Amino acid sequence: MRPLLNARRGEGQTPDPPKFYSVAEAARMFRTSQMTLYRAIADGQFPAVRIRGRLIIPAKAVDAMIEAAFDQQRAVDAAEFVPKGAA
């Protein structure tokens, strides 16, 4: 009977990743203050969802920011920006 109880509680299973973060959690991830993040949200510079006054941060938005940061951290050649045949 014990294994069934463990299975019901989800023990031994990988938990689903969060779909949202609190402002406090997101601020810790970005190593900034909650107030800085609240201000960025208020200024329309950071994505958030408001539910009856509570703000939550979509995990997809955080993931997209991380991916973009990695994608953009590369040396680019100016030639990549010249239209082909322009030279």
For the chain, domain boundaries:
15-73
Give the pair of three-digit tokens for residue 52.
Answer: 């009856």
The pLDDT assigned to 85 comes to 52
pTM of the predicted structure, to 2 decimals:
0.65
pLDDT tens digits along 39-69: 988 887 788 889 999 999 889 888 877 777 7
The pLDDT assigned to 43 comes to 80
Give the pair of three-digit tokens for residue 56.
Answer: 């939550």
The pLDDT assigned to 11 comes to 65
pLDDT, average across residues 58-83: 63
| Level-2 CATH architecture, domain 15-73 | Orthogonal Bundle (1.10)
Give me the helices (H) in the chain, please: 2-9, 23-29, 34-42, 59-72
